[in-house]
Structure 1
């Protein structure tokens, strides 16, 4: 046993070291090819190259071959080729008459040759980026298809009626070939976007969506779909279920690489169907049929997995106004409006006779029936009126759309509404943790902290951290905090409670209400199984097709980078979306674990990124040098030395400042 365990640990360690080496080699190649472009054309134009360096700053290692010193420097964020008559640190060399007399100096060469030398790095990066892409597509690239995993409640896509399992086929009349097309269209949109596709039931749709622009970038609130496969991790001992969940207690156990085929004998075709199957039987024990990795597709292993009961504190909170209503939903047809506050359902007081958190279940159980509602509608600031409505809910499972993001409203999928649950206590369940802690109706929760169990660490829970939320007039995300409790079963919580006179802190551990019958338990729509992202492979049949795909991908990547820069300048995208070298290296490491083709694709994008950014008209970058060369070519005069020096130092300060900024984002945000 010790020998097997040691072998597994050694294999994991070797795999991590290999990934790190691949990332270092790949990032080094991107920089090397850029500088090689400058170097090769400089040599071709008979310019003396004094140093070829990968990295900046103090030199770690160097050797001299011929007239050129080849160096590896300590700061691995780029590189440089130092030519006679061209030095970014000393811009005066470009205007030095003495240096210009040397026929092998950079400044002595004609403008067209200097333009060739300066642009060679960028051209080399475009070529190598295209080759990286071509090799990746020849091997086969796994990309996320344009299939919807979920729509975030209250966001534009959710309001437009897009559902889990929907396939987005066209965006603004253009074919959507991957999920990145969805992200790209919303992030770079100047106005509304039109999406066409097919619902899970086969019906086609066309919707116009206005992206939300309140965040760091425009978005419509969609999440990519998962597959039916449980991931295979680098660590063979890694858990595929959430600790404390029903799936963790399943018999037999779920294993890495399992693929879902049936639920209670009924075939499952996609993840959306799996979601609905689990959610519609949330309080039942089910038999999940999976195909084991390495076995014939027809061989099914049945796994018995129980329900996941909600853990609660015994608090019934107040319901907020309706934040959003889906287009064409039962709520819209019944005449509900944004801003309405639901006060009664079937004659029952919401908050005292009906728990707002259980309204998704209440309406789901009433599918197809007529439900009477009373809402308080704000006709004017002083005189709200009561409006009586009737609504017929759809057959949509409860809690299918989870409030997983901060301040996400709780959705009632069978009605098509979303509302916040306000942390003002209206009722405390008898015998509950909240009752034992002394919490009373009309008190308000100002803060919740969900803490690790005693003598346990985050590592015991697969890295899951402690979380806390503060509540005020703008942040009323009790439903989100409640969902976080479900993700951490058994974790104690600390509440900061206000009774208008004083604040106090109370601690308690959420319970599963023992007064419910097992078959009537209020249960989560999920079982706690980790799933792999849905991906499809794009593979070229031959190298010619691969080169064509590489050229197209290079063009699209360059276009995306320019659109991103434009959006940054116009303020449509926040600078907080930027990534620095630490994040790039981290992403590269994760990509390397996914396979060679994914790493090549990432390096191709990085190479094109380096080409585009280097050609921006900023002094010290290649684009800045090109601006000065264009000036010289037009005016037939070299730039003024003082102007050149001032521009160079301003450019250097800008680039260094940007580098420090993105490092700060990488490390602290």
Structure 2
């Protein structure tokens, strides 16, 4: 969405020389941490093989992190290694290709082309079995006692599995150290519910903490874990309700509700719970540029905390202290609110936050029929049904999708509504009276995700439509009568895009921080695109007055295409959002003893293992799309993001990577540790080795499969970046 892109772009990079040098040094340091972390996971895996092999007297000829393969492009020949040295009988080094690592043991080589050569090399001189047609059926060959094949099956099994075991152990240790430092996380507390979503329909209120999803229980559940549990349960059983337990200040409430497809990604299941926001202003971005908050907050307010509003102190003993504030803020959109801020120096400061004046495109917009109802909500109790069309409320027949929520959001008296139910000759008019109920409104009524608008007090939702309900004067046309090319009531918008040249853009939009927003506006909004119409109206709120947009619309009854130009202009009504830049709510989980750290580390490792098994299960069931699969580039990008957040997030990333490496490397695919283990199990059952030619062919097939997979995931990473 446009606003999401804008929020991501807000921190502006330093442009002076010192800032550039500092930024470059930071980037180098972070990439160094990424390389060190990933290299450490690979090193530990290979160290497991190495130590186990040495323990059983196997000669290890090479120990490499990365692969030392020859690479040549035309006349340019790259070095095989970034560095190597010989110590004793083993060569240690870092290969030029950073896609893994290996330990080269005497008599063992993952390259099937060298298998026969390696088999000959370890036969003791004088052994005449070399000429046999079928070595497996002849007397056992005399092998070098320090070679890998010469060792008993059980020893080879330990050597092969030692890498995975080391990854499992160190994964637990990484997580334990992270919890020793302290892990910051977003708790699974409910900041709000998405209008029209399953949680909203079930009447789930903000201000509680989810402690149970299905069979998954955790009193300190992370929002990420909760979301993953809901996603998995929803994918496994889309039609089966999920049991949810939520702890509120007055006790535990239990719900059972079905998941719904995410509006932007049908493959993702959700129930519509929104993560909470704290009452702490951002240290860099305290307000959205051009908003009313931007005009009243100063640099001295950076990092300040809201401790009171209109004389009401924030209650810190609540599960979600910010809930009453947000409910007050969004329930009083036309009121100037006095905020008491506690600055970082400890002093308190008071600011007056006026309403945010809305902006518009010179038109009012129609609303869809009612899309959803809250169970036992005011609308449901009054007999309102999904599909009903509101034609009037409190006698007002001028329906505006954005003006009606403003009038109903804080209503305390019953509201009369006229509804049209049914179509054509079967349509009938129904009069109902809705008595508002107590319901928290901790988010603006409109949803950025689904595009729905919901008034919680009355328990119904609808979509704003790109259909003109009424027209206001167009600044481009002045007071002259609207020409045929201007918008008229009933026109349905098909596309909207920015047409003002970059050189003529207002100063606010020429800021580099707005480049992603301007790029999206240039590309434009289309009716059948993924972005809901409500996102366009929200984007307009952040554009300077006078910004010109091109509009394509169709006009009934013939569907003639109308091309018009409109400008962003100030509206007489207000907007719910006032542009306050608040940080996400975060908690800290820190172990108080070594035992607790190890317990939390084991739990973290176990959950990451479950994630891998869950992914593999869904992949085999065809529920994982290629866009969900990340390769080396995606891993590097994620590793860098975690390194930027600090030592604990990076350690938890290494735990996740260790669990992935352990399980994926132990899959029964020839050339991987799991494939070797399958061969060893077969040898133990049969009492003799598999046919070497068969094993070589299977290994070659495994290598080709892995190479094909690498090509696919690399291509997927590159396409994702384009």
- TM-score band, normalised by shorter chain: 0.7 to 0.9
Partner-residue secondary structure (3-state), 1:108: coil
Cα deviation digits, residues 422-456 of structure 1 (max 9, x gap) = 22223212346696871122222111235787335
Measured in 2, the distance between the counterparts of 1:252 and 1:321 equals 44
Cα deviation digits, residues 17-52 of structure 1 (max 9, x gap) = 332222221111111111111222122222232332
Structure 1 position 74 matched with structure 2 position 110: no
Structure 1 position 370 matched with structure 2 position 415: yes
Q: Which residue of 2 aligns with 1:482?
A: 537
Task: Report the alpha carbon displacement of residue 134 of structure 1 after superposing the two structures with TM.
Answer: 0.8
Q: Which residue of 2 aligns with 1:143?
A: 185
Partner-residue secondary structure (3-state), 1:304: strand
Q: TM-score, normalised by structure 2?
A: 0.82
Partner-residue secondary structure (3-state), 1:332: helix
Q: Which residue of 1 aligns with 2:38?
A: 27
Structure 1 position 245 matched with structure 2 position 294: no
Q: Which residue of 2 aligns with 1:118?
A: 160
Unpaired runs of at least 5, structure 2? 1-13, 71-79, 123-142, 316-320, 504-508
Q: Which residue of 2 aligns with 1:130?
A: 172
Cα deviation digits, residues 43-98 of structure 1 (max 9, x gap) = 22222323322223442323231333323223323222232332222266289752
Structure 1 position 604 matched with structure 2 position 604: no
Cα deviation digits, residues 103-161 of structure 1 (max 9, x gap) = 33322322212211211111111111111111111111112211112322222222222
Pairs within 5 Å for 1:210-249 = 210-213=258-261, 215-232=266-283, 238-249=284-295
The answer on whether the counterparts of 2:65 and 2:102 sit within 8 Å (CA) in structure 1 is: yes
Partner-residue secondary structure (3-state), 1:47: coil
Cα deviation digits, residues 272-313 of structure 1 (max 9, x gap) = 3332232233233333222222x33xx312233333222111
Cα deviation digits, residues 473-529 of structure 1 (max 9, x gap) = x9793223212322445554332222345434433331112xx3xxxxx22222223
Pairs within 5 Å for 1:30-49 = 30-49=41-60
The answer on whether the counterparts of 1:409 and 1:419 sit within 8 Å (CA) in structure 2 is: yes
Aligned length: 644
Q: Which residue of 2 aligns with 1:235?
A: none
Q: TM-score, normalised by structure 1?
A: 0.88
The answer on whether the counterparts of 1:377 and 1:387 sit within 8 Å (CA) in structure 2 is: no
Q: Decide whether aligned partners of structure 1 residues 46 and 22 sit closer, same or farther in structure 2, where only a CA change above 3 A counts.
A: same
Q: Which residue of 2 aligns with 1:319?
A: 367
The answer on whether the counterparts of 1:91 and 1:644 sit within 8 Å (CA) in structure 2 is: no
Which residue of the other structure, out of 120, 131, 148, is the alignment partner of 1:98?
120
Task: Report the alpha carbon displacement of residue 608 of structure 1 after superposing the two structures with TM.
Answer: 1.6
Partner-residue secondary structure (3-state), 1:430: coil
Q: Decide whether aligned partners of structure 1 residues 402 and 111 sit closer, same or farther in structure 2, where only a CA change above 3 A counts.
A: farther
Task: Report the alpha carbon displacement of residue 562 of structure 1 after superposing the two structures with TM.
Answer: 0.9
Q: Decide whether aligned partners of structure 1 residues 290 and 39 sit closer, same or farther in structure 2, where only a CA change above 3 A counts.
A: same
Pairs within 5 Å for 1:8-407 = 11-56=22-67, 57-58=69-70, 59-65=80-86, 66-90=88-112, 93=115, 97-99=119-121, 101-172=143-214, 174-178=217-221, 179-189=223-233, 190=237, 191-199=240-248, 202=250, 204-213=252-261, 215-232=266-283, 238-253=284-299, 255-269=301-315, 270-293=321-344, 295-296=345-346, 299-349=347-397, 353-377=398-422, 383-394=426-437, 400-405=444-449, 407=450
Task: Report the alpha carbon displacement of residue 470 of structure 1 after superposing the two structures with TM.
Answer: 1.6
Q: Which residue of 1 aligns with 2:698?
A: 647
Partner-residue secondary structure (3-state), 2:94: strand
Q: Decide whether aligned partners of structure 1 residues 638 and 543 sit closer, same or farther in structure 2, where only a CA change above 3 A counts.
A: same
Task: Report the alpha carbon displacement of residue 337 of structure 1 after superposing the two structures with TM.
Answer: 2.1
Q: Which residue of 1 aligns with 2:489?
A: 441
Partner-residue secondary structure (3-state), 2:63: strand
Name which of structure 1's ranges 87-96 and 437-446 shifts more when overlaid on structure 2.
87-96
Q: Which residue of 2 aligns with 1:410?
A: 453
Give the structure with higher Rg (CA).
Answer: 2
Measured in 2, the distance between the counterparts of 1:122 and 1:581 equals 20
Q: Decide whether aligned partners of structure 1 residues 492 and 177 sit closer, same or farther in structure 2, where only a CA change above 3 A counts.
A: farther
Q: Decide whether aligned partners of structure 1 residues 354 and 204 sit closer, same or farther in structure 2, where only a CA change above 3 A counts.
A: farther
The answer on whether the counterparts of 1:342 and 1:376 sit within 8 Å (CA) in structure 2 is: no
Measured in 1, the distance between the counterparts of 2:425 and 2:699 equals 63
Measured in 1, the distance between the counterparts of 2:373 and 2:331 equals 23
Which residue of the other structure, out of 553, 573, 578, is the alignment partner of 2:629?
578
The answer on whether the counterparts of 1:252 and 1:304 sit within 8 Å (CA) in structure 2 is: no
CA-based RMSD: 3.0
Task: Report the alpha carbon displacement of residue 362 of structure 1 after superposing the two structures with TM.
Answer: 2.4
The answer on whether the counterparts of 1:213 and 1:572 sit within 8 Å (CA) in structure 2 is: no
Cα deviation digits, residues 335-390 of structure 1 (max 9, x gap) = 222222223323333xxx12122222122243332322313236xx9734333322
Partner-residue secondary structure (3-state), 2:707: helix
Partner-residue secondary structure (3-state), 1:613: helix
Structure 1 position 466 matched with structure 2 position 545: no
Structure 1 position 562 matched with structure 2 position 643: no
Task: Report the alpha carbon displacement of residue 642 of structure 1 after superposing the two structures with TM.
Answer: 4.5
Measured in 1, the distance between the counterparts of 2:21 and 2:301 equals 21
Q: Decide whether aligned partners of structure 1 residues 364 and 597 sit closer, same or farther in structure 2, where only a CA change above 3 A counts.
A: same
Measured in 1, the distance between the counterparts of 2:442 and 2:476 equals 25
